[in-house]
Structure 1
Amino acid sequence: MKFLKVICLLLVANISFANVILPSVFSDHMVLQQNDEVKFWGWANPNEEVDISPSWTSENYKTKATNQAYWELTIKTPKFGGPYTISIKGYNEVVLKDVLIGEVWLCSGQSNMEMSASWGIDNSEEEIAKANYDNVRFFTSPKMAANSEQNNIISSWEICTSESMKYASAAAYFFAKRLQETMKDVPVGLMVSAWGGTPIEIWTPENIIKKDTALLTAANKLTPVSYGPIKPGKAFNTMINPLVGYKIAGALWYQGESNVGSDVYDKNLEALIASWRNLWGYNFPFYFVQIAPYNYGENHFGGVIIRDAQRKADNQIKNSGMVVISDVSPIDDIHPKDKKAVGFRLANLALKNHYHLIDDLVESPSVSELNFDKNKAVVSFNYAEGLYSKDKKGLFEVAGEDKLFYPATSKLKDDTIIVSSKKVNDIKYLRFAWGNNTQSNLFNKANLPASSFTTEN
């Protein structure tokens, strides 16, 4: 009987004094957003007092766990720096070491975001050898799917070394590298949640897809594959939802190849961005990569339709930016190897539009105004300084009311192009570089290519 009493007392003690538990995103080597109020959360015994003490301040932060054994609180962070320690005390104590304060970016998408140096990027051996940056840290989510929202990811923060960079997102790495060239000592944290071959629907909360008839219809047309889920919300539940609330500067997105064939991708992208921003509670910058020209097939325009949908979404979404990469992507490789150009172009958007640290021309030429005058189409562009054509290929086409397109000639004057064709007397529609594997030949002085586009829809 005495033995049983001891066992019971031990069980009660174990229940009464449950350990404070943190989600994996709070670990050694983590990066927290600078000059901000960042949320910490976790689990403990109901009503257990939780005390957090960061080493950058003498202030202690206290809260109590709810009757659901959950707690959260907000901590003020200073300007960039570190390393720091953070003590989290309940009935036990957890000490996070080597914590940096800097800039945190969420990086998501499919294989081109997931693609690491080990896959064979350009100059991979050289880039791997010099990739030792203590101020750059990775938190990479493992591939997981679930039918309901999860609250934790099994992973941890890693310091950027030649070994860790070799298997981390190359696009994200080069983004951080470019930021540091300008921001110098500011640490950069990269939270990477990417899964090759996945459609945008699995990264969007299921309820967002279900309440929109057009999005749900498109989702129901997706064909099952052997390398990943296709049902709405599956990856959001496991690879995004556990990160919601972790303070970020912004998000990077590189995806679209698995949605070739969709006619609502612009609406999908708008819905994903709006849902993520709503969950985080603020309109963080969202920069994304337009998919590259590739031969998706000769009898359709599925690939270029996605590129145009991305262009249209960028025009509609505030605080967003799109990088065009048709000039650094061979049309016979769906996984372009030049991830440095991709990362640098994304970073240049952030440095100019979010951090306001550069004032260079970092945007591709984009259509600002279009007028039809009988047998002429007059197109004006934003970001068109030094606009030029790289070769003499005629990539403009025009059509009348019948929507039968014919090759057109074009004349360039400053930031305006005049397009015409002897076969169309009354132009109603215009398109440029309209083909799945057609690379743009129109550039500005920053040598950034214009996007393909059409006025047909």
Structure 2
Amino acid sequence: MPVQKSPERAVVWGYGSEGAQVKFTLLGQKQQNISQATVTNGTWRVTLDPVEAGGPYNVTAAVQNITAVLTDVLFGDVWLCGGQSNMLFEVSQIVNASEELKRAAHYPHVRTFMASLKKSETEQTDLIDIQIPWSVELANLAGFSAVCWLFGRNLFDKLQPIGLVESSWGGTPIEAWSSARALQQWGLLLESKSREHYSSHRENSVLWNAMIHLLLNMTIKGAIWYQGEANYIYHQKKYNCSFPAMIDDWRMAFHQGSGGQTAPDFPFGFVQLSTWKKESKSDAFPNIRWHQTADTGFVPNPRMQNTFMTVAMDLPDETSPYDQIHPKHKQDVAVRLSLEARAVAYGEQDVAFRGPFPSQILSTPKYLEVAYDQEVSVTPSENIFEDPKARWVPALIMQWGLTTVQLSISLCSPTEQVAALRYAWRDWPCDFKACPIYSASKIVPAPPFISTNIQPKDDGK
């Protein structure tokens, strides 16, 4: 198994008889640390000195005549992967799955672990069950999260070793992954429920209790998240509060649970919703995409600091045998996530990780001019930009420059001023990798946005 490398300090814990004295030893690479711990409330815990990336080490815990030994322990960065079905989506299900599984043999120091799908009405202090133990076996990898594995593999070359902990469940809303403490912050009343009501894995806090709370002792580097489809109707309007509140609460809980070793603002990455129904006229998915950014349109932002986001609305999969809501092209998702992690979590410079976002929208009697915060790559497309009259109407791309896009407002009334502009505000806004606005490198798509901040353009400047 891997544990968190320096500069953080890894935490190792176990269980035993109350008051028992545990002798703990870490041995490897000419380093031997010996510590003593006392079992208190059924648990003992040792916080290690910072250890640089590498290994292997042996870890031994002994009490009286009982000794437990872990071998092949590595120090590296540990990432938690959570969410619903698109995070649960397995390596065996993606495009080129057999090739990816063969390639995995070259990454024995990317280690995987998966919690079983369990729920609880109370906070658990240990796993109820384990789906995949810490493993380097390819047979186990086939059933592991594709996004999680590919993300870790992409980081490996610069950051080896890597530990990946998956805790996800399909069809689950954010309320199930949030503590009661977090739910209270955004005003969801926690009604008293009968025990039978807890048979659903979608109820408030049941997955936090059984699949997250028991991990809090761990020191982790960060987390990635793919969820939101289950909230496209359920408490949709509160997602702009519930999602940031969950992130804040996880950060606080992991920091406290690890005795201050996990950073109180650890990096948190997420995947903005992809697509579902091609002909849908519903605003549900666009609304959730917007709410995933706390109604800002981009991250990091003042409400969601030290976060990073992968735009995935240009990765639809019309032929997915797992339903169109589950696209098979998870490699692209992971590439974008890892670029963002390198920039936000690891501070790499000159990494193009965020798609273009409007810095200013100017109006003239004939056109709108969208000024972006970076150079753009543009492909003209109809019906992707829209402005409202009595309803939203297309604003066609007329021309563009290095950082600007001009839009026709010919479909608006000449006697009315444009009140708002939105981009890609659809469930399925474009075909595969064919949205009109990307970064100059053509790797990162521009995220959707909606704005009422439109200023008149002074053509004299």
Q: TM-score, normalised by structure 1?
A: 0.84
Distance 2:47 2:328 in 1: 41
Distance 2:83 2:103 in 1: 26
- CA distance 1:370–1:267, change in 2 (3 Å): farther
Give the deviation of 1:299 after TM superposition: 4.8
The answer to whether the Cα contact below 8 Å between 1:375 and 1:427 also exists between their aligned partners in 2 is no
The answer to whether the Cα contact below 8 Å between 1:373 and 1:427 also exists between their aligned partners in 2 is no
Matched, 1:451 2:447: yes
Distance 2:372 2:200 in 1: 40
Q: Partner of 1:146 in structure 2?
A: 120
- CA distance 1:188–1:227, change in 2 (3 Å): farther
Give the deviation of 1:260 after TM superposition: 0.7
- Matched position secondary structure for 1:94: strand
Q: How does 1:21-32 map to 2 (within 5 A)?
A: 29-32=1-4
Matched, 1:291 2:273: yes
The answer to whether the Cα contact below 8 Å between 2:281 and 2:427 also exists between their aligned partners in 1 is no
Distance 2:204 2:96 in 1: 37
Q: Partner of 2:312 in structure 1?
A: 325
Matched, 1:194 2:168: yes
Q: Partner of 1:78 in structure 2?
A: 51
1:106 maps to a residue whose letter is L
Distance 2:143 2:34 in 1: 38
Give the deviation of 1:72 after TM superposition: 2.1
Q: Partner of 2:409 in structure 1?
A: 421
The answer to whether the Cα contact below 8 Å between 1:77 and 1:101 also exists between their aligned partners in 2 is no
Give the deviation of 1:142 after TM superposition: 0.4
Q: Partner of 1:254 in structure 2?
A: 226
- Please say which structure displays the higher CA radius of gyration: 1
5+ residue gaps, structure 2, are: 256-263, 454-461
- Matched position secondary structure for 1:58: strand
- CA distance 1:251–1:328, change in 2 (3 Å): same
Q: Partner of 1:203 in structure 2?
A: 177
Distance 1:322 1:347 in 2: 10
Matched, 1:269 2:265: no
Distance 1:101 1:310 in 2: 33
Q: Partner of 2:338 in structure 1?
A: 347
Give the deviation of 1:431 after TM superposition: 0.7
Q: Partner of 2:382 in structure 1?
A: 393
Higher helix fraction (1 or 2): 1
| One of 72, 96, 113 as aligned partner of 1:123 | 96
- CA distance 1:206–1:372, change in 2 (3 Å): farther
Give the deviation of 1:256 after TM superposition: 0.9
Give the deviation of 1:296 after TM superposition: 7.7
Cα deviations by residue, 1:212-267 (Å, 9 ceiling, x for unpaired): 32x449x99xxx99995221111010110000120111000011111112112121
Distance 2:197 2:417 in 1: 46
Q: Partner of 2:5 in structure 1?
A: 33
Q: Partner of 2:260 in structure 1?
A: none
Distance 2:361 2:23 in 1: 60
The answer to whether the Cα contact below 8 Å between 2:424 and 2:448 also exists between their aligned partners in 1 is yes
- Matched position secondary structure for 1:364: coil
The answer to whether the Cα contact below 8 Å between 1:265 and 1:310 also exists between their aligned partners in 2 is yes
1:237 maps to a residue whose letter is N
The answer to whether the Cα contact below 8 Å between 1:266 and 1:310 also exists between their aligned partners in 2 is yes
| One of 139, 157, 179 as aligned partner of 1:181 | 157
User: What RMSD over aligned residues (CA atoms) do the two structures have, in Å?
Assistant: 2.6
Q: Partner of 1:365 in structure 2?
A: 356
Q: Partner of 1:212 in structure 2?
A: 186
Q: Partner of 2:37 in structure 1?
A: 63
Distance 2:164 2:145 in 1: 9
Cα deviations by residue, 1:188-216 (Å, 9 ceiling, x for unpaired): 00000010111111011023213432x44
The answer to whether the Cα contact below 8 Å between 1:171 and 1:340 also exists between their aligned partners in 2 is yes
Matched, 1:437 2:428: yes
| One of 80, 88, 104 as aligned partner of 1:114 | 88
- Matched position secondary structure for 1:350: helix
Distance 1:375 1:210 in 2: 49
Matched, 1:310 2:284: no
- Matched position secondary structure for 1:368: strand
Distance 1:195 1:89 in 2: 36
Distance 2:281 2:198 in 1: 25
Distance 1:228 1:438 in 2: 33
The answer to whether the Cα contact below 8 Å between 1:296 and 1:302 also exists between their aligned partners in 2 is no
Matched, 1:88 2:57: no
5+ residue gaps, structure 1, are: 1-28
Q: Partner of 2:456 in structure 1?
A: none
Cα deviations by residue, 1:382-434 (Å, 9 ceiling, x for unpaired): 3x32x12234324111125x5x3221133423222333413143011111111
Distance 2:350 2:169 in 1: 34
- CA distance 1:437–1:225, change in 2 (3 Å): farther
Quick check: 319-328 or 96-105, which moved more? 319-328
Q: Partner of 1:7 in structure 2?
A: none
| One of 153, 156, 160 as aligned partner of 2:136 | 160
| One of 18, 22, 44 as aligned partner of 2:16 | 44
2:330 maps to a residue whose letter is K
Distance 1:309 1:250 in 2: 22
Distance 1:125 1:325 in 2: 23
